[in-house]
Structure 1
Amino acid sequence: MPLAARSLSSLAEGVPRRRPARRIGARTFDFSTSVAVMAVVNRTPDSFYDRGRTFELERAVAACEAAVTAGADWVDIGGVPFAPGPALSAADELDRVLPVVTAVRDRSDVVISVDTFLPEVARACIAAGADVINDTTGLFHPEIVDVVADSDATLVITHSLAAPRTVYPRPEYGDVVHEVAAFLEERVGHALSGGIPEERLVIDPGHDLNKNTLHSLELTRRLGEITAIGLPTLVAVSNKDFVGESIDAPKSERLEGSIAAMVLCIAQGARIVRMHNVPEAVAAVRMTETILGMRAPALLRHNMGDVND
């Protein structure tokens, strides 16, 4: 049956069965009834999307606070872009991210994740109050498992193939969804054997990371095969190139396409969405939750009485 003809209930067939609520930092998430919105805050001069808009410390902290005010459950702070480029030392990365973690932790109970693949950075940020380590390299440095295991933090395991900040030209897959799922299951097994309990693991299929647009589209339309692994699935589709190439739009004009991709992923079981445009994402997430029956409408007035409001 063509994808367009399938109902939302059939799209959600791969959604994991209800599991106990998760405690992440100071907040509790029941992913059977809600989707967490993760705001992106990059303290880099060459970030993929904002090109350094939040590189200054005050702007980065203000961006985190604005995201919380707009309804974000989570802020993801990064000091090094995923894109190929020169390596940044752990000391230099900490100079960028640690002051933001400290400032936000002092002001909010929002979940704080740090986008890093360096064990030294992860350890220092957890000590400063970070709740999650978001490793977009698929545990390239396996010692990061030991760091997270020795804490109460959660670890996000993402599919990517290249060494950090290196080019991976013309990626090829026989079946991208099967291969991504197998990679994630293997890395999850490594994390479990390293002492991180299942309730502190999250997976991310890594849209666009060492994948072309056709690969990312296939992951999006078959995301249920990833969520069926049984762990909370994070999707980072916001303003990605697969969105831009699909609708022929520059980064500044990808909001609607990003929202569409996000909604389809939620319908198939994604429960954490990493987004740049927080107010729009929060509204779309709340509407999607309501359509899927995960939450009740905020109001019930229309055609509910003798007078139509």
Structure 2
Amino acid sequence: MNAHALTFGLPAPGTIRAARGWEWRWTGAAVMGILNVTPDSFSDGGRHAALDAALHSARAMRDAGVLILDIGGESTRPGAVPVAAHEELDRVLPLIRALAGQGVLLSVDTMKAEVAAAALRAGAHLINDVTGLRDPEMRRVCADAGAPACVMHMQGQPQTMQAAPHYGDVVQEVHTYLREQAREALAAGVPDVLLDPGIGFGKTLDHNLSLLRALPDLTAGPHPVLIGASRKRLIDLMASVPDAADRDPGTLALHLHAARQGAAVVRAHAAAAHVQALRVQAALNAPPGPALHSDG
């Protein structure tokens, strides 16, 4: 299994002191559990609107072995309506404050520098920005807080991104964009980055499949790679599953493929199931040794 590392400017759960700050090291694909506190996310909108429900799900994922919780207060599904920063903060801050110090890395899924800054002050450790840190202010916020960021590729904006996605060479364009955004982020003082090709964000089925097949080119680079294909429409297009809530088996297939191609993190709704599946895959890939059990 591939070894991965992510550098933080300040101590975070699971990190150790290193030359450039605090480093989180792991092997294989870690699981980032999705925790949307929104009324309109495409598959779980409203499920975690109440703080008690969100905390219950967060603690269950942590106890199952999920290493990162990704908290989102604004839907980025195709056609989603933007929300004001104060409304997004009202959704995410109570959960961040309740989970801070509970031994799990907290990521915040936001496009707004104002929200990122407040979330990091409240106890978050990582920013997941679907706009790829295009906003210089977002880079400054992460640099000042010593927070690494997930840099994602998206063609267009959530409201229009699936209207007519087009590329000359999707792999070359997406990978070049991610590498350039990573360079700019590090030059601005962001301690480290994850790269996310943005499956489903301004891409057709063929675009998504090309990017998933080309993962070895991206994972061979110096930055850990995140793949988030959870319950997305490409699964319906491949396997005729119109209800997003029924797409977890297809999600697992895509994410196990990503892990085999060197992905460092997979972002999933069915997070505990992913932990189990990845552990089994890791055991299958381990060198032969003494049997763990004798009862079959």
Q: TM-score, normalised by structure 1?
A: 0.85
Pick the aligned partner of 2:12 from 25, 37, 46: 25
Residue 56 of structure 2 is aligned to residue 56 of structure 1: no
1:163 to 2:157 alignment: yes
Q: Is the 8 A contact 1:34 1:289 kept in 2?
A: yes
1:4 equivalent in structure 2: none
Aligned partner of 1:283 among 268, 272, 276 = 276
Q: CA deviation at 1:290?
A: 2.5
**CA distance change for structure 1 residues 155 and 283 in 2, over 3 Å: closer, same or farther?**
same
Q: 2: distance between equivalents of 1:188 and 1:266?
A: 21
User: Would the alpha carbon gap of residues 100 and 213 (structure 1) be closer, same or farther in structure 2, given more than 3 Å must change?
Assistant: same
The residue that corresponds to 1:90 in the other structure is 85
Corresponding position of 2:201: 209
Q: Is the 8 A contact 1:138 1:161 kept in 2?
A: no
CA distance, structure 1, for counterparts of residue 91 and residue 98 of structure 2: 12
Shift in alpha-carbon separation, 1:297–1:222, aligned structure 2, 3 A = farther
In the alignment, the residues of structure 2 paired with residue 64 and residue 20 of structure 1 have an alpha-carbon distance, to the nearest angstrom, of 24
Q: Is the 8 A contact 2:32 2:267 kept in 1?
A: yes
- Is structure 2 residue 41 aligned with structure 1 residue 47? yes
Alignment length, in residue pairs? 284
Give unmatched runs, 5+ long, in structure 1. Answer: 1-11, 303-307
Contact 2:165 2:202 in 1 (8 A): yes
Task: For residues 86-116 of structure 1, give each alpha carbon's deviation from its aligned partner in whole angstroms, at most 9, with x where no partner exists.
Answer: 321111110010111001115x110000000
Structure 2 CA distance for partners of 1:82 and 1:296, relative to 1, 3 Å: farther
Offset, 1:252 = 2.4
TM-score, normalized by length of structure 2? 0.89
**2: CA distance, partners of 1:126 / 1:99:** 13
- Which residue number corresponds to residue 260 of structure 2? 267
The C-alpha deviation readout for 1:185-243, integer Å capped at 9, x for no partner, is: 1111110111123xx21111110001111111111122111212320101101111111
Task: Report the CA distance between 1:51 and its aligned residue.
Answer: 2.4
Q: 1:176 aligns with which of 153, 167, 170?
A: 170
Give distance in 1, aligned partners of 2:273 and 2:244. Answer: 16
**1:116 match:** 110
Please state how far the C-alpha of 1:130 moved relative to its aligned partner: 0.3
In structure 2, the gaps of 5 or more residues are 16-23
Relative to structure 1, is the Cα distance of residues 159 and 297 closer, same or farther in structure 2, using a 3 angstrom cutoff? farther
Kept in 2: contact 1:25–1:111 (CA 8 A): yes
Please give the alpha-carbon distance, in whole angstroms, between the structure 1 residues aligned to 2:189 and 2:273. 38
Aligned-partner SS, 1:237: coil
SS of 1:27's partner is coil
- Say whether residues 1:230 and 2:222 are aligned partners: yes
Partners of 1:225 and 1:109 lie apart in 2 by 33
Q: Is the 8 A contact 1:138 1:158 kept in 2?
A: yes
Q: Which residue pairs with 1:100 in the alignment? A: 95
- CA 1:125–1:257 in structure 2 vs 1: closer, same or farther (change >3 Å)? same
- Please, what is the CA RMSD of the aligned residues? 2.2
Is the contact between residue 223 and residue 265 of structure 1 (CA under 8 Å) also seen in structure 2?
yes
Equivalent position of 2:128 in the other structure: 134
Sequence identity of aligned pairs in percent? 36
Residue identity in the other structure for 1:175: D
- The equivalent residue for 1:77 is 71
- How many angstroms does 1:276 deviate by? 0.6
Q: Secondary structure at the match of 2:66?
A: coil
